[in-house]
A and B are shown apart, each in its own frame.
Chain A
């Protein structure tokens, strides 16, 4: 066990980052953001290394850190943080995604750059708080706080119909989270009736719900489920996603698909399943069906997309469908596979959006209706893109392969039909991702744009290092999935 104060730095460092952004000159904001997030990443990896690289689950357990800071004792609020082998992955990914998002060049470093950097660091703070929190109220607060920078990020640096899309995003997510809030209040109240103390601690509430009739817990379960199903999203709740992904500035898109969607994943793993194990088992049938529908339906939508960003957005839903399928298998192996797959999805989607942005910077009018033939002009960029596409279609030897395979393996005993349908999703994934690469990279009539202001060089050394770093994690994880499979 480590000392109890060692977790707060995961929250305070990003907040310090927010403050420093306001004293840094505007011209060096990108440099500052990259160095700042890299520093936080290094410290986070150092802090979590015991958990991440432990040889066995038992060994990993010795590195679990619990920390409880009193916040509003009058009403039983506390800041309870827990770093275990689940949250360790997400906090590391969180800063990694921030590093990728900060590395992009664009309008956000020309217009209000300080605001952008401080929003970015604030996101890191709020997401870390959400991933580490074991108190439902603080989790809710952090979960909700993520909206604030996100709304502004889309609003200030977004494109096209940004106002409509960000309002839709906000309203849908807020609807889900407020239903969750009422469910939290309801559980806290029932627990107060039974035990006499106000506590939103997940451990206390798990003890309480274990004694309750699962049918009675149906409504609170639905409240939580609504919040996370909208956040992930599962298919009937995905209406907000496409517009806001395509209209958001690229860093915003990377944040949303890479890490905001994982809030739904961790919510399901950390809160829904432990709180309502029997209720979830009662509803398993349609939960698994929804996940399977998400996989296939989103894949079909992706095939029909003619815009790179929306194709990647739909592919994100499809992959997260696998994650949900793994979680709804309600087996610990399935959940572990889901975590493995969500790590893979975060890395791959951050990488794909990052590279797609690089392509966009070089060719203004991109659509997937006709081939662009850009690969010969920018060989390094397109080789990276091709490897990322392969990682996305779960080629054996990448993280996603292990994840999807194990998810399907664990889902089969639950519902053979849904598993077969989902397996179809893997094939459809190959269809749209290869189409994506083919239309961008292949074809014959490519010419370097001559107009000024457009980048004509291949990607630079820094970008390449970043890409290689992400790819090496993906490939290493594909070859050594045991590192991710220590159970939780």
Chain B
């Protein structure tokens, strides 16, 4: 197995770094700085070694249970970059909230390891283990604000629901194992290429697995945990969950959907069922996300509902690609653009300085234009991008999912999505209106841009605008790294 060490280098580095960070945080309990430095160095090393391996062709390792491909290297590089940005950008926030403990860092690294392992897994058991490796630090980090009852509530809620959904996933796995005699995704795909008598059992297992991941990406009607978790978790953690966890879960969801050969005529009936499930979940997510978002006053809850509606668009892309391999890149492009704007918006959000961070309301943005025109511009860029306005990456992400689902005959759903875009655009324009058109409220929060969080926000905003004007490189690159084979 040592012969795969070259391509597995980033994961080896990350795992080693986790141990060192853990060790450092135990040795120097009194200060968090060593752990922080160790975490940043680990992620930096991982990032660099990933970038060096981007051109390596796909290969399966560890007797076929893990597949390393340009995609997985790209995703790990993306996650490491996000990790670095949030560690640096969240520094001030954690100090301010009194949460700066060295445990924070190794939990974060474990989360990233689990998320990236999820995207490499080619076996249902590995998928489950990675899912738990990703989720457990996520539960802990959600409850990181120990003295805040909302944070505790969110962590417990997330943990219980997540544990239950893990059981659902395992039940699905056992059904599929019963039907196919294997938990390996490649074997299952080969099995599905011919007709079988166990197709009903298999279908039940497959749907259960899909539902488990629908829960992770918070597609309605499995979205109830998301607003509470977003609100309860510390802001940098929310940002990491919104980007890293969502991306990993979506990539895996797409891979797990496509373990069935939908081009095989014997799966035609089942394909219709799966399409129905995804179609309804997409429609519900869009409707719930964009209808509830306009009633929200809390900024984090608003972003939670926004992410639910983005899940709806992503499911639209998944639907458009069912059985058509090349179209699936719309999902990857959407995820990349979404990650970019979400990182920026959470970096901005961690700059607020009210008494408790659960309380960041829309009202706190009033009159920001008078106080800080630059911040207003950054917020506006991200909100415009979320609404899918031109010259932001948000337009192109929507373009691809709309195109691919019109291509598979889902025009009514696309019309619904378009109408939902209008509704949620209202919600995104409202904070802009508050920032620009009102005088500052004396009770509004202070926004103090720390150096690093400002760097993150400016970089993300530049990326959003640049990719909105010149998306060529992004499209070419992401089309070149297939999500599924």
Contact = CB atoms under 8 A, between A and B. Distances in A.
Interface of A: 72-75, 112, 115, 140-142, 144-145, 147-148, 151-152, 155-156, 158, 162-163, 166-167, 170-171, 174-175, 178-179, 181-182, 185-186, 188-189, 192
B437 A156 contact: yes
Contact of B407 (A73, A156, A179, A189): A189
A72 B384 contact: no
Interface residues of B, number: 34
Nearest to A140: B390
Contacts, number: 85
A147 B389 contact: yes
A144 B472 CA distance: 21
Contact of B433 (A141, A155, A189): A155
A115 to B, nearest CB: 8
Contacts of B415: 179, 182
Contacts of B414: 182, 185
Contact of B438 (A163, A185, A192): A163
B395 A141 contact: yes
Contacts of A140: 390
A198 to B, nearest CB: 8
A160 to B, nearest CB: 11
Contacts of B434: 163
Interface in B460-485: 471-472, 475-476, 479
Contacts of B384: 148
A42 to B, nearest CB: 28
B475 A189 contact: no
A165 to B, nearest CB: 10
Interface stretch (B46-54, B417-425, B450-458): B417-425
A155 B429 CA distance: 11
Main SS at interface, chain A: helix
B464 to A, nearest CB: 14
A346 B369 CA distance: 33
B476 A178 contact: no
B317 to A, nearest CB: 13
B406 A72 contact: no
B214 to A, nearest CB: 26
B426 interface: yes
Given A170-B429, A171-B422, A171-B425, A73 B436 contact: no
A115 B426 CA distance: 23
Contact of A167 (B369, B395, B419, B426): B426
B437 A155 contact: yes
A178 B391 CA distance: 15
B432 interface: yes
B430 interface: yes
Contact of B471 (A72, A162, A185): A72
A144 B390 contact: yes
A372 to B, nearest CB: 31
A156 B369 contact: yes
Contacts of A166: 433, 437
Contacts of A181: 402, 418
A75 B406 CA distance: 15
B432 A151 contact: yes
A186 B437 contact: no
B391 A189 contact: no
B41 interface: no
Interface string B437-451: 110000000000000
B437 A163 contact: yes
A179 B418 contact: yes
A155 B406 CA distance: 36
A73 B425 CA distance: 29
B127 to A, nearest CB: 32
B390 A145 contact: yes
